[in-house]
């Protein structure tokens, strides 16, 4: 396998059309969409990135998603949701799925991400707002069906 010293590989996500370093994709799950990834050689990963021809746009989308994830998981909130729901999946996949849900909610209009006009040290300036808290709870329950009964 170790030919020409090019043993370094990357993990490619078909859904996001981009590659990740192994360190960024624990257990081989895409850090952005939590989907499965395929191992690719370095050159193949670069070639695919060029073919996808969406590097700039998908980078913005990725950063946007990362920001959403940071907002809802900060101050241990991600871990708290995880403990309460006790879903049958690893934390990083849980985080990705809730992030997906929030982004879908924003698309559908029942979730709002509030951002300051300029980058700020005021953490409270970054927040998630729900038009309908119960909708969010229902959606969470629908996704994580192994969630324990509320109580």
| Residue ranges binding Zn ion (CB under 5 A) | 13, 15-16, 30, 32-33, 35
Q: Of 131, 66, 60, 61, whose CA–CA distance to 95 is shortest?
A: 66
Q: How far is CA 67 from the centre of its chain?
A: 10
Q: How far is the CB of 84 from Zn ion (least distance, A)?
A: 26
State which residue, 27 or 149, has the beta carbon closest to Zn ion: 27
Distance CA 65, CA 147 (A): 25
Q: How far is the CB of 58 from Zn ion (least distance, A)?
A: 10
Number of other residues whose CB lies within 10 A of the CB of residue 78: 19
- Give the CA distances from residue 115 to residues 6, 26, 39, 139, 148, in Å, rounded to whole numbers and listed in that order: 43, 29, 36, 24, 33
Q: How far is the CB of 87 from Zn ion (least distance, A)?
A: 19
Q: How far is the CB of 105 from Zn ion (least distance, A)?
A: 19
State which residue, 32 or 71, has the beta carbon closest to Zn ion: 32
State which residue, 57 or 137, has the beta carbon closest to Zn ion: 57
């Amino acid at each position: 396998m170790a030919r020409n010293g090019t043993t370094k590989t990357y993990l490619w996500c078909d859904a996001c059309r981009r590659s990740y370093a192994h360190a960024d994709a624990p257990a081989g799950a895409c850090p952005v969409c939590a989907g499965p990834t395929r191992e690719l050689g370095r050159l193949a990963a670069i070639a695919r990135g060029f073919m996808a021809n969406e590097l700039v746009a998908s980078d913005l989308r990725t950063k946007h998603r990362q920001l959403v994830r940071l907002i809802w998981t900060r101050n241990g909130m991600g871990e708290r949701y995880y403990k309460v729901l006790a879903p049958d999946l690893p934390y990083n996949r849980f985080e990705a799925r809730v992030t997906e849900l929030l982004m879908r909610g924003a698309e559908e209009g029942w979730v709002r991400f509030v951002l300051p006009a300029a980058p700020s040290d005021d953490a409270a300036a970054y927040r998630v707002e729900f038009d309908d808290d119960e909708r969010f709870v229902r959606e969470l329950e629908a996704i994580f069906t192994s969630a324990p009964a509320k109580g």
